[in-house]
A = this chain, B = another copy of it.
Amino acid sequence: MEIGFIGLGAMGRAMASRLLSAGHRLRVWNRSPGPARDLAAEGAQAVGTPAEAFRGDVAITMLADDGAYRSIGLAGPVLDQAPRGMIHLNMATVSVELTRELAAAHAERGLIYVAAPVFGRAEVAAAGKLTIVAAGPEEALDRAAPLLDAMGQRTWRLGPEPTQAAATKIAGNFMIAAAIETISEATTLAARHGVAPETLLDLLTSSLFAAPVYKNYGAIIAGRKYQPPGFRLALGLKDVRLALAAGEAARVPLPFASVLRDAFLEAVAHGDGDLDWAAVAEVARRRAGSDGAAG
């Protein structure tokens, strides 16, 4: 297929690469030109504006946040030049509010909007093993299926409304953040009573908590190795904010998300915004009066 791809951060690049390998033709655009040049070496065509990439059968976007979508005109000008009937697969994690706004803007112009955010880090994307949660018109999902299959190991179809996928992704990230905070508090408590974090985690992830989220983040927290970041803490704060906003839009109080907001904000205030989001564990330690260096 003819595909436009906008947003070539670590995730976007890996995903675009998978599409090239699967034989699709890509026009790619990124704010800073380096990543587009790199992909050109793999066969993509680097273009000079978002509008040039917003053509063909399908446009895929993978930008950092709501602000990035607004600033390059994806809620307006860029859409005006797109061919009617084109599908836009937004694979980023954005707000429910922006999702609603983009869906309306596309509908007005005869474009098809699909929200298809992903779970998984860059190395998972590179292996084509992402978990994709998609929502939009059934027929569009069918047409996009080969692309989604090239990038993910499984695509969950959540329904016709793009907000369904946006909310699912936001709820999932909230759950990860809550698991991280839970590990942080529990290991700080146990450590003060003479139980090493590793021991507590070995024990619990052998049975009730035998899941990747507890194993991976447990290991990071027990070892206090927050670099390089798998997912930056500042982005974690953004995602907690998305959860709170989604809750507010639907009138759902989320007390755990409120605690998370304050904890991530405290971490950012202490200069840890560029570490892995598991570094929120240092907030729990600091509040308890524990000091010492972490990597």
Whether A127 is near chain B, meaning CB under 8 Å from some CB there, is no
Q: A188: shortest Cβ distance to chain B, in Å?
A: 5
Residues on B with C-beta less than 8 A from A203 are: 131, 133, 156, 168, 172
**Smallest CB-CB separation from A166: which chain B residue?**
B193
Residues of B within 8 A of A74 (CB): none
Q: What number of A residues sit within 8 Å (CB to CB) of B?
A: 78
- A96 interface contact, C-beta 8 A: yes
Contacts of A246 in B (CB 8 A): 189, 193
Kindly list chain B residues whose C-beta atoms are within 8 Å of the C-beta of A159. Answer: 194-195
What is the minimal beta-carbon distance from A217 to any residue of chain B, in angstroms? Answer: 10
Segment 243-295 of A: residues with Cβ below 8 Å from B:
243-244, 246-248, 250-259, 261-263, 265-266, 268-271, 284, 287-289
Q: How far is the CA of A284 from the CA of B204 in the complex (A)?
A: 26
Contact check, B212 vs A189: say whether CB atoms are below 8 A apart.
Answer: no
Q: What is the chain B residue whose CB lies nearest that of A157? A: B199
Smallest Cβ distance from A271 to chain B, in angstroms? 7
One of A41-49, A85-93, A174-182, A225-233 contacting the partner: A174-182
Collect the chain B residues with CB atoms within 8 Å of residue A210's CB. Answer: 210-212
Q: Are A193 and B96 in contact (CB under 8 A)?
A: yes
In the docked arrangement, what's the CA distance between A163 and B185, Å? Answer: 18
Report, nearest first, the 3 A-B pairs whose CB atoms are least far apart: A167-B193, A211-B211, A269-B289
List residues of chain A with CB under 8 Å of any chain B CB: 96, 119, 131, 133, 154, 156, 158-159, 161, 163-164, 166-168, 170-172, 174-176, 178-179, 181-183, 185-190, 192-195, 199-200, 203-214, 241, 243-244, 246-248, 250-259, 261-263, 265-266, 268-271, 284, 287-289
